[in-house]
Amino acid sequence: MSKWFHWIKTYRTAAMAGLAVFSLLCLWGLFHIKFTESVSVMIPSSVQERVGLFQASPFNSKTFVAVTDKDPALALEGARRLREYLAQEKFISLPPIQGAQFGLSLAKALPYRFTEKDAQEALKFITPQVISSQMRDNFQNLMSFQGSFLKEMILLDPLGLSKLMGDKLKAFDVTSSMEYADGFLISKDQTAVIGVYEAAFNPADISASSRFKKAFQVAKRNGVLPSSSHAFYLGAARYTDENSSIIRGDLKLITVLALLGLGALFMVFFRRKRALWIFALPLFVLAPSALVTYLVFGEISGITLGFGSVVAGLAVDYSIYMYCALCGSSKAVLKTARKLLPHLLYSYATSVACFAALLFSSIELFKQIAVFSIAGLTFALLLAVFVFPAFWKKLPPAPVVALKTVPPLSRTSAAIILCVLLWGGMAGALRLQISGNLDALNSVSDAFTQDKALFDKAFSQQTAASGLLFVFGEDQDLALKNNEKVSRHLGEELAVSLVYPSEYAKDENLARWRKFWAQNGEKTRELVRQNALHWGLKPGAFKPFEYLTSLVQDPDSFDFSAFYNPFTQIAGGYAVVNMVPDNPAFNQLNVPGVKTVFVSAEAIRQDLIAGVRTEAVKILLVTLLLAGGLIFYFFKNLRDTLLTFIPVAGAFSFTFLVFWAAGIQVNLFILAFLPLLTGLGVDYGLFQVIKHRAGQNSALYPQNALVAASLSTFIGFGVLALAQHNVLFIIGLSACLGIAGAALSALFLLPPLLEAE
C-alpha cells in the first residue's frame, strides 16, 4: 500500500492525467454501446417462458395503426391512405390483396381440409334447388362487370363450396364484437379504424422505432390524413420508443439534479477545493462500471445505467469517510488511511455481499445491476484508499456544521421506538400491494396513455378477452398433430387445426372428400351441366369443377401464412399459436403427451406476482446470510452483529410502513431495492458499531461523516423519485424512505442501544 501511495504522491500530475485519460476512454467506449430495452430482462424466470413465447409469437411484431374521426367515411379513408403511405415507406408489410386468386386457392384447399362436419354441410350444396339457384347467381355474376374477375372462380366452384373454407378462416376472426372491412378492424360506432400490420423492422430496435415514429409524424403533417382525423399507433415499437425517450429524459434530469444536490452538500460540509475529488468520483467510476457490465453480459439496459446515480451515491461514502478522518488529523496520511482501512473494507465487503445477492436472482437485469454496483464500489474503494489520500495531505479541520443536536434517547425509549417501528414495518410488509401488470415496467407519455385509453374504449372487449395457447412439437407437423390432439381433448376444433391440418389429417380429409364425390359426384356434375345449358353456357365450361371433384387432386398448395402464421420457432422445436378466449381452463389443460402453455394478461399477472414473492424471499435471505456472516466474521460477536442490523430493520420497517399507509403499489423492482437497502443499513450500522468499539480513537469517525454520507446517498437515490420511468421512480422512492429510516435508526436508536452494555 505504502509503495503505491508514495508513487501517487510523487507523481500526482501523472496520476491525475492517467485517471482522466482512463475515464475519457471509458466514456468513449460507453458512447459506442448499444443499450437494450426489453421487458424480458426485467422479469423473473418463472414468467420468462410466457413472456418469451409471446415475444417470439407472430403477434409481437404487429403494429396497430389507428385512425379516428367523427365521420366514419373519413376514418376509413384516412386508414387506407396511412396504410398505403407506411407500406410505401417500407415500415409495414401488407398481406397480399385478397383477389380472385385467393378465392381460387380457397376452393383448391378444401379437399385437404374437408372434415366430417364439412361433409354434412356439403350435402346442402348439392340439392337440385340449391344448384339451380346458385347457377342463376353464377350467370348473373358472369354477366356483371366483375364477371371477368370472378370467371375462374365460378368455373372451379360453381356450387360455392369455398364458403366452407371461408367459415374456417372466420374462426380466426376473434373480432365478433367489431366490424371487419377491407382488412381493417372497425369499432361499433365506426369512428375508429385499426389496421393490424406486420412491422417490417425490429420493433425492439430503438433507432428503428424512432424512425417509424418520425415517418408517422411526417405522414400526419403532410396531409396524408384528412385534417379532422387523429392517428396513432400502438405495439412493441411504440413501447420501445416511449421507454427509451423517457429513460433518456430521466437520465438528463437525474444527472443535473444529482449534481446540484451534491454541489449543495459540498457547500455545507466541505467547502474546499481538495474535497472536490469526492464529487468527481462518479465520473471515474460510472463509465468503467458500465463497460465491465457490458463486457460480462454482452448488453446493458438503460435501467442499469440509470441505477448509476444510486451507485454514485454509495460510492462516494468511502471517500467521505476517508476525507473526514483526515481532516485535522495530526498523524501522517498513510497512517490514518491504514487505520481506517478495516472499516472501509468491512463496509465494502458487506455492500458487495448485499449486491452479490442479486446474482442469485433469476432476473437478468438484477444480475446486471449486481455486476455494475460491485464494479462501481470496487473502483470507488480503490480511489478512496489508494489515490485520493495522496491529494489530502495536511487537511485542516473540517468546517463545523451546526447540526442541531437532539438529546440522546434513553435505552428504554430507543427499544420501544424500535419495537413500534418493527411492528409497523411487519404489518406494512404483509399488506404490501404488488403490481403484476407488465405495463408497470414500461413508462409511457401522457399521449400514449390517452391513445391507449382510446384504443381500449373502442376495442376493450377484444383486448381483454383473448389469450394465446401454444402447443409444442419437435417439428411443425408434430406441433400441428399435437394441436389436433388438443382440439379433440377440448371437443372443439381450434381454428389453426381447421386451416393448418397435419399431414395425417390431410390424408384423412382427402379420403373423405373423394368418398363424398364418389357417392355424389356424377349426379351433381350432371345437374351443373343441365343448368349451364339453361343459361346459355357451353356444357364443357365447368371442366375445372369436374376435375376438382374427381378422384385426382393437385398437391395442397394453400398458403395462409401471410395472413396468419401460426408457427413460432423455439429452442428444440416449434409451437403452434392459437388465439383463444381468456379462459383459465386453458391454464390447467392437461393433454397426455402434449406440452401446452397458455399466455394471457391475467396468466402473466399471476405468474409475475408469485415470481416476485419467491424472488423477494430468496434475495432477502441470501443478502442477510451473506452480510450477517461477514459481519460476524469481522466482529466475532453476535450482539454487535445483531446491533449492526438495526439500521437495516429501521430502513425496511419505515419503508413498508409508509407504503402501506399511503397505499402505494410497488412493481417488482422493489426486489432490487432489498439488498441495496440492506447494504446501506449495514454500512451505517458498521460505522456506529466500529466507532463505539474504537473508543478513544473515535475521532476517526466524526458524526458529520455519517450525516454527509447519508445525505450524499439520499441525493443519489432521491433524484430517482423524480424520474418518469416507473422502475426508476419506485427505486428512488423506496430508497428515499429506506435511507431516511436507516440513517435515523443509525443516528438515534443505535447509539443508546450500544451504550447499554
Partner 1 sequence: MKFALGLFLFCFTVTPVFAQQKAAGPSVPDKEAVTARFATVNTIESRFTQQKFMALLEEPVTSEGVFYFEKPSRIRWQYTKPFQNGFLIADGVTYRLEKDKKEEQKNPLAHNIAAQLLAWLTFDLEALSKQYAVEFTADGVVLTPLKKGFINRIKVTFSAQNPQALSKVEILENGGDKTVLRFTHPKTNHKLPAEAFQ
Give me the residues that bind partner 1 (CB under 8 A), please.
72-73, 76-77, 97-100, 102-103, 140, 142-149, 151-152, 155, 179-183, 536-538, 541
For partner 1, which is the closer residue by CB, 99 or 663? 99
For residues 326 and 274, give the distance between their C-alpha atoms in angstroms, rounded to a whole number. Answer: 12
The packing angle between helices 646-662 and 411-430, to 10°, is: 50
For partner 1, which is the closer residue by CB, 28 or 149? 149
- Closest by CA position to 287, among listed 315, 321, 328, 324: 315
The nearest distance, CB 486 to partner 1, in angstroms, is 30
Question: How many Cβ atoms are within 10 Å of 210's Cβ, its own excluded?
Answer: 15
For partner 1, which is the closer residue by CB, 100 or 341? 100
For residues 715 and 255, give the distance between their C-alpha atoms in angstroms, rounded to a whole number. Answer: 11
Q: Read out DSSP for 688-702?
A: HHHHHHHGGGGGGS-
For partner 1, which is the closer residue by CB, 144 or 665? 144
* Residue 23, φ and ψ in degrees, nearest 5: -65, -40
- State the residue for C-alpha cell 466514456: 27
For residues 690 and 127, give the distance between their C-alpha atoms in angstroms, rounded to a whole number. Answer: 98
The nearest distance, CB 540 to partner 1, in angstroms, is 8
DSSP run (H or E) holding 754? helix 750-755
For partner 1, which is the closer residue by CB, 146 or 698? 146
The nearest distance, CB 103 to partner 1, in angstroms, is 7
Q: What's at 230, amino acid-wise?
A: H
The nearest distance, CB 564 to partner 1, in angstroms, is 15
- State the residue for C-alpha cell 417462458: 49
For residues 35 and 299, give the distance between their C-alpha atoms in angstroms, rounded to a whole number. Answer: 7
For partner 1, which is the closer residue by CB, 264 or 562? 562
The nearest distance, CB 76 to partner 1, in angstroms, is 4
For partner 1, which is the closer residue by CB, 397 or 536? 536
For partner 1, which is the closer residue by CB, 142 or 589? 142
For partner 1, which is the closer residue by CB, 150 or 722? 150
The answer to whether the beta carbons of residues 90 and 200 sit under 8 Å apart is yes
Collapsed DSSP state (helix, strand, coil) of residue 629:
helix
Retrieve residue 483's grid coordinates.
394441436
Retrieve residue 692's grid coordinates.
463505539
- Closest by CA position to 703, among listed 398, 414, 409: 398
For residues 454 and 471, give the distance between their C-alpha atoms in angstroms, rounded to a whole number. Answer: 33
* Residue 143, φ and ψ in degrees, nearest 5: -85, -10
The nearest distance, CB 59 to partner 1, in angstroms, is 21
From the number of C-beta atoms within 10 Å of its C-beta (0-12, 13-18, 19+), residue 190 rates as middle
The nearest distance, CB 106 to partner 1, in angstroms, is 11
The nearest distance, CB 563 to partner 1, in angstroms, is 11
For partner 1, which is the closer residue by CB, 146 or 569? 146
The nearest distance, CB 562 to partner 1, in angstroms, is 13
The answer to whether the beta carbons of residues 289 and 337 sit under 8 Å apart is no
For partner 1, which is the closer residue by CB, 187 or 442? 187
For partner 1, which is the closer residue by CB, 186 or 616? 186
Left, alpha or beta for 295 (phi > 0: left; psi -120 to 50: alpha)? alpha
The nearest distance, CB 71 to partner 1, in angstroms, is 8
For partner 1, which is the closer residue by CB, 106 or 737? 106
The nearest distance, CB 149 to partner 1, in angstroms, is 5
The answer to whether the beta carbons of residues 497 and 480 sit under 8 Å apart is yes
Q: What's at 705, amino acid-wise?
A: A
For partner 1, which is the closer residue by CB, 226 or 249? 226
Retrieve residue 71's grid coordinates.
365521420
The answer to whether the beta carbons of residues 724 and 249 sit under 8 Å apart is yes
For residues 250 and 232, give the distance between their C-alpha atoms in angstroms, rounded to a whole number. Answer: 24
The nearest distance, CB 537 to partner 1, in angstroms, is 5
The nearest distance, CB 619 to partner 1, in angstroms, is 54
DSSP run (H or E) holding 312? helix 308-326
- Distances in whole angstroms, Cα of residue 424 to Cα of each of 218, 431, 582, 676, 741: 55, 11, 39, 21, 12
For residues 212 and 435, give the distance between their C-alpha atoms in angstroms, rounded to a whole number. Answer: 31
The nearest distance, CB 217 to partner 1, in angstroms, is 24
Q: Read out DSSP for 353-390?
A: HHHHGGGGSS-HHHHHHHHHHHHHHHHHHHIIIIIGGG
